[in-house]
Amino acid sequence: MYGYDFAVAAGAVLAGAIASIAGFGIGSLLTPLLAVRVDAKLAVAAVSIPHVVGTALRFWLVRGHVDRRIFIWFGVTSATGGLLGALLHNYASSRGLAIVFGSLLLFVGVSELTGFMSRVRFGRRAAWVAGAVSGVFGGMVGNQGGIRSAALLAFDSDKQSFVATATAVGLIVDGARLPIYIAAEGARLLELWPVIALATAGVDRPWAARARRTPRSVGRNTSGSPRPRRAT
């Protein structure tokens, strides 16, 4: 068991480090790792706890750059999708969730290798739908970043605003799905609490180190005023 605990802790630190740079990776790395010992349904629910903590820490670092207008409207559709996805998670079989999760990982991997998602451009209306779809997948299996990012590109934000708004939307989806997971899987999550605590502590370490290096002035601009676009 100690070997597995070490693997979870090391995987969590690695996932947190990747997420601190790329903005994703916690669910993609930790869910398969936990699924070695528990079923996919419980693994998704368990990973949502370190995922929401890591996302919250990242949001704290970039909070001043959130585009409030996009966040409010896009966040509502994504959170609605997250609620629906979490409800579907409760009714789906572990095998079905594993297939969905694996398919999404494969899609994201192929998309990154081929550059497919970087070429996708949604219109504004389609972006709202894509936001809801990303929320559904986030609620079901905790994997949503690729679709969400492609949808947010429709709003032509600058880089800082894009990253901050995507993080804020991810956080609100986590907030929508986590209570449903706890209500449905609370007893089993309690049995798994040592592993969840290890994973959460591991995910937090890269973010905590980054926070200590971040000047206090970062994130204080919360006026929501338009920011200059990057030069092209």
In Å, what is the CA distance from 69 to each residue of 32, 34, 161, 205?
35, 37, 11, 32
Structure tokens at 222: 């919360």
Q: What's the confidence (pLDDT) of residue 107?
A: 82
**Tens-digit pLDDT profile for residues 32-90:** 999 999 999 999 999 999 999 988 988 988 889 999 888 888 888 999 999 999 999 99
Nearest to 205 by CA among 3, 7, 15: 15
What residue spans define the domains of the chain? 2-213
CB neighbour class for 63 (10 Å; exposed up to 12, middle 13-18, buried from 19): middle
Within a 13 Å sphere around the CA of 204, how many CA atoms are in the beta-carbon half? 11
Question: Could you tell me the CA-to-CA distances from 68 to 205, 230, 231 in Å, in that order?
Answer: 29, 19, 23
- Two structure tokens written together for 19: 């997420």
Q: Please state, in angstroms and as integers, the Cα–Cα distance from residue 179 to each residue in 45, 48, 87, 203, following that order.
A: 10, 10, 11, 20
pLDDT higher for 181 or 129? 181
Q: How far separated are the first and last CA of the chain, in Å rounded? A: 53
Q: What is the reported pLDDT for 163?
A: 85
Q: Which of 219, 200, 204 is nearest to 57 (CA)?
A: 204
Q: What is the pLDDT of residue 88?
A: 95
pLDDT in tens, 186-222: 999 999 999 999 889 888 766 555 555 554 444 444 3
pLDDT digits 0-9 by tens, 97-146: 999 999 888 887 787 777 776 676 677 778 888 888 989 999 999 887 67
How confident is residue 16, by pLDDT bands cut at 50, 70 and 90?
A: confident
Which amino acid type is present at position 232? Answer: T
CA distance 130 to 137: 11
Q: 142, 51 in Cβ contact below 8 A?
A: yes
- Indicate the pTM of the whole model: 0.81
